[in-house]
Amino acid sequence: MNNAPLAVFDSGLGGLSVVRHLRQILPGEDIVYFGDTARVPYGIKSRPTVAQFALETASFLLQFDPKLIVAACNTASALALDHLIRELPVPVIGVVEPGARAAVRLAAGKPVAVIGTEATISSSAYVKAIRALAPEQPVIGLACPLFVPLVEEGRGSDDPLVKLAAETYLAPLRAQGVHVVVLGCTHYPLLRDAVAACLGPGVQIVDSGRETSLAVQRHLTETAALSAAAPPGTIRCYVSDNPTRFQRVGSRFLNEPIEYVELVEAERYVNLPRRPSEVR
């Protein structure tokens, strides 16, 4: 048993869609979350910048002595997971591998599509993770950049702009006989119904956040590190900018009110002595 908290980081508030599943699957765990709201979005940035930001953001959480760090941000997981695992003194679990594993299982050899930010898709991290598990698996990567601002504006699956964006991005996938779609971005689970409506009832949807939460549960079980505390665990959130907006918009992602949010000034986390120049 280990009552230390789980640490979760993201480029902003989207990672709360992963915390939502962690809370359901592991209700006794305490969670500390850091959203880098001052520097969001990561999804249009280069690998060295994302690697540096992700390492600084994750490192801030070490002061809470977490038993595990979850890289909830798909972009950070896709571009910087190896770097984080190398640099951080606690286990790190990203969202790409669990999502890829579920996609391969459900696809049974039929085509898979992965949707995500520009950076996630151009990294090919999901394609590589899927092919590592099933070398012959057909996989299509597709960036849907408008989905993030649409969700943050509060637009849901019934919104006409969302329907238009979904149809514009996803219609080509219908023609390619896609069998499984991976929601490879923290924001996309909030548009799950629009994606499903666009692709039709035969297409299965993988929520990487949920798969990652199940992977965290497996890890904690196998290492005898589950919390012994009675549920519900606590959630403390830290942000690098605009806690009021985080609280308001983030509660939709978390699906519960956010009670504790603290603003973190730059000097408390932007202090990395090394620039990860080796990350290209």
Shortest distance in whole angstroms from residue 229 CB to ligand DGL:
29
Q: Which residue in the set 9, 34, 42, 169 belongs to the binding site for ligand DGL (CB under 6 A)?
A: 42
Residue number with the smallest Cβ distance to ligand DGL: 43
Q: Would residue 73 show up in a list of annotated catalytic residues for this protein?
A: yes
x/- string (CB under 6 A) for ligand DGL, residues 166-185? -------------------x
Task: Give the Cα separation of 170 and 93 in Å (integer).
Answer: 29
Stretch 101-140 residues interacting with ligand DGL (CB under 6 A): 116-117, 120
* Structure tokens, 218: 């497996």
Shortest distance in whole angstroms from residue 187 CB to ligand DGL:
6
x/- string (CB under 6 A) for ligand DGL, residues 6-25? ----xxx-x-----------
Shortest distance in whole angstroms from residue 102 CB to ligand DGL:
16
Shortest distance in whole angstroms from residue 123 CB to ligand DGL:
11
Task: Give the Cα separation of 213 and 179 in Å (integer).
Answer: 23
Count CB neighbours of 63 within 10 A. 11
- Say whether residue 40 binds ligand DGL (CB under 6 A): yes
Q: Would residue 144 show up in a list of annotated catalytic residues for this protein?
A: no
**With respect to ligand DGL, which residue has the nearer C-beta, 209 or 276?**
209
Shortest distance in whole angstroms from residue 15 CB to ligand DGL:
6
Contact in structure between 97 and 65 (CB atoms under 8 Å): no
Task: Give the Cα separation of 58 and 52 in Å (integer).
Answer: 10
**With respect to ligand DGL, which residue has the nearer C-beta, 14 or 66?**
14
Residues that bind ligand DGL (CB under 6 A): 10-12, 14, 40-43, 73-75, 116-117, 120, 148, 185-187
Q: Which residues are catalytic?
A: 73, 185
